[in-house]
Amino acid sequence: MKIQLSAFLTFAAVVGIAPAQAELRTLMDEETLHVIAQEVSGEAAKRNLDTVTLYHRTRASRQFRQSAEHIRDQLRAYGFRDARILEYAADGETMFGTQKSRPAWDVEFAELWELKETGDGIWQRIRKLGDWDAVPLTLAQDSLSGEATADLVDIGAGTTPSDYEGKDIAGKFVLTSSQPNAVVARAIAEHGAVGIISYAPNQRSAWWKEDDRLIRWGHLSSFPDTETFAFMISLGEARDLQQRLNNGEEIRFHGKVDASHNKRGKYSLVTATIQGADRDLRDEEIVFTCHLDHPRPGANDNASGCVSILEAARTMKKLIDEERIARPKRTMRFIWPAEIEGTLIYLNADPKAAARIKANIHMDMVGGNEKTKAVFRVSGGPESLPHFISDLSHEVGAFVNAQSEIYASGGETPFHLTAPEGDKAAQLALMEGIDLGSDHQIFNEGSWRIPGIYLHDWPDRYIHTNYDGAANIDPTKLKRAAFIGLTTGLYLADMDDGDTAAMAALLRRNAFARAGALEERLESIAAKDRAMVAAIHWQREHAKIDSMSDFAMLGDEARTAAHDFVGQLAGLLGNASQATSPSSGIVYARNPDLKGPMSAFGYSYISDKLGSDAGSLALPNFSGTNADGGVIGGGIFTYEALNLVDGTRTTSDIRDWLTATLSPVPQQMVDDYLAALESIYVLLRVAD
């Protein structure tokens, strides 16, 4: 399958591709890049982060509102006269597409005390393990009012009947390694426990369970069948309690919670705009997003993304007001929703606003320093939505990588993008495809198919814990994230017919590089699937060329030349005309009256509608492997399967796309999943 390097180089010479990395300054004016780099401030972003991290920002809560008001007030101070807070029902009943509105959750008081018996039979408080006011993460989200004094029983994971055998659970607190909601049905409803104490570890990474001081964000249901409360403690604390229990010690706790669900609550979403200058294009929007919610302190996740787009907004507004940058042709909008559910609500609540969005620039965790073990990433869109914007964002990211490396190595460049209070190290960002887990996936989802980029850190050893603090945030990272996001967004806001030639050249160069990667991948693909994998690869390359028409017109001659290039490249590899297996199966279309993914935040549409039958579907839990042996899972197969439904593809076409772009997947899994979605009217059958 491999072709000779000389053939590649000969082809490159014929079509005029330089083997070296192209340069962002061939796409954007250097002076524009320079003034952005000069103005954007990591310190200004960090000062706002210091304020945001003071609030425990659960959706629709009082403290979320306080943080939203800070963002709004800063925008107004920066000159955004239209900065305002939009409100939506948080009542536990209203449906916004596939997202059920969750009731607001507010807490007045929560404490957990260990007790010790005195000589006269009285139990006294000796140690506080949970305190809402001091460390709100010690109370699991969606805990409801209750009070109990009870002994402690260790149930391990608490998710199987064997975890409870021979144990007296009724009237006791249970100690579990699982997330609280995973044990409610057995421990509370079935066995009569009075409360939960969880030491669920942090999200898996190489540092998983290494730092036993971490208190993990805990969750109970927003729509509980059984009302209860749960406290979260560290792994180190749990190990000490387990040792004492194993030694036969009686351990007693007193827990009290005053918390409630408020069905009259309101989601708050901050928004502001820089109006476009072109009368014909100003109704089109480039939308910058983050998510403002998450527990205190929540510095990297996600105060960092929120203050970085705030800094991008401040920078752009100031440069326009000072006439150092021309007002862009399209409108730039900045929004601060609650994660995933807030974005789903915004897009569903105002279809006209959703229709105006041309692209999304999303930031979620962009500030971690060396302590967090962060790897910064510039992620493009899903394989089901091939678009030139991915190539553009990777070009911007590669530019910052290269310029910061020059500076770190002792060279001179005006684009080192370091903050006086930040690091000077080179940015070694990874350029990657889709990575699920934040609001970008809602914009990309098949209901809207809005292209965009996702800037984020992964891993982060402190994510969702009490140690995700402001001290771990690097102002240089914030500055660079704001630069990458603003530069990408500004290019898109200004893109017109004059930009298509340079973008087509970038796509040619990248198609050439991707062709080499395809050749390597085909070596690991089953022989029966190779032609199909290659065919879908070239379909995606052609789609990237056509995607430019979302923003500007590529002339007929230039368009033909761009597509001819892809065809010639495919021919060079010898897989341009290989026949693929015939298409078969059912053709589905999306229900136009139901927009959104099947699982969102705190609510799963498919589980709600299918009940226990949802658990029998194999595709949601399917995992494959990539060419390097890495695991591909986490819901990407179901996400992409639904995205690929377009009223023309058959179920076998969808399976082929999943196999070609992710990993081989059984046809029956795809058929069963899509049939289940048809049964709950997410999909409509077009043809058999």
How confident is the model over 76-117, as pLDDT tens digits?
999 999 999 999 999 999 999 999 999 999 999 999 999 999
Residue pLDDT, tens place only, 338-392: 999 999 999 999 999 999 999 999 999 999 999 999 999 999 999 999 999 999 9
Give dist(CA 597, CA 441) in Å, integer.
9
Query: Would the pLDDT of 165 be above 80?
Result: yes
Give dist(CA 648, CA 376) in Å, integer.
37
Give dist(CA 443, CA 330) in Å, integer.
18
User: Domain boundaries in the chain?
Assistant: 5-22+497-573, 40-102+265-494, 105-262, 587-687
Give dist(CA 595, CA 348) in Å, integer.
7
Residue 528 pLDDT class (50, 70, 90 cuts): confident
Residue 11 pLDDT class (50, 70, 90 cuts): low
Residue pLDDT, tens place only, 44-88: 999 999 999 999 999 999 999 999 999 999 999 999 999 999 999
Query: Would the pLDDT of 668 be above 60?
Result: yes
What percent of the chain shows pLDDT beyond 70? Answer: 96
43-47, 149-153, 430-434 — which is least confidently predicted?
Answer: 430-434
pLDDT for res 320: 98
CB half-sphere exposure, 204, CA atoms < 13 A: 1
Query: Would the pLDDT of 198 be above 60?
Result: yes
Helix (H, G, I), strand (E, B) or coil at 622: coil
What percent of the chain shows pLDDT beyond 90? Answer: 89
Per-residue tokens: 39: 């103005």
Residue 519 pLDDT class (50, 70, 90 cuts): confident
| DSSP 8-state secondary structure symbol assigned to residue 429 | P
Per-residue tokens: 549: 């028409």
Q: What is the mean pLDDT of residues 461-470?
A: 97
Mean pLDDT, the chain, whole residue set: 94
Which among 369, 229, 354, 378 has a CA at the least distance from the CA of 284? 354
Give Cα 543 distance to the centre of its chain: 24
pLDDT for res 522: 87
Q: Are 683 and 589 spatial neighbours (Cβ–Cβ below 8 Å)?
A: yes
pLDDT for res 1: 41
Give Cα 589 distance to the centre of its chain: 26
In 3-state terms the chain splits into helix, strand, coil percentages (rounded to 5) of 40, 20, 40
Per-residue tokens: 242: 């387990």
Domain range 40-102+265-494, CATH architecture: 3-Layer(aba) Sandwich (3.40)
pLDDT for res 20: 42
Q: What is the mean pLDDT of residues 523-532?
A: 87
Query: Would the pLDDT of 575 be above 80?
Result: no
Neighbours of 189 (CB within 10 A): 14
Total residue count of the chain as it appears in this document: 688
pTM score, two decimals?
Answer: 0.95
Residue pLDDT, tens place only, 599-656: 888 999 999 999 999 999 999 999 988 777 788 888 999 999 999 999 999 999 999 9
pLDDT for res 456: 98
Q: Does domain 105-262 have CATH number 3.50.30.30?
A: yes
Residue pLDDT, tens place only, 597-614: 998 889 999 999 999 999
Give Cα 143 distance to the centre of its chain: 25
Per-residue tokens: 550: 């979302």
Q: Please, is 408 exposed, middle or buried when counting C-beta atoms within 10 Å of its C-beta (0-12, 13-18, 19+)?
A: middle
pLDDT for res 630: 82
Query: Would the pLDDT of 399 be above 60?
Result: yes
List all residues 6 or more positions away from 400 whose beta carbon is below 8 Å from its beta carbon: 415, 417, 427, 429, 480, 483, 484
> Can the peptide bond before residue 297 be classed as cis, meaning omega within 30 degrees of 0?
yes
Which among 235, 225, 227 has a CA at the least distance from the CA of 201? 235
- Which amino acid is present at 272? A
Give Cα 428 distance to the centre of its chain: 20
Residue pLDDT, tens place only, 115-129: 999 878 889 999 999
Query: Would the pLDDT of 281 be above 70?
Result: yes
Angle between helices 30-39 and 305-321 (to 10 degrees): 120
Residue pLDDT, tens place only, 420-432: 999 999 999 999 9
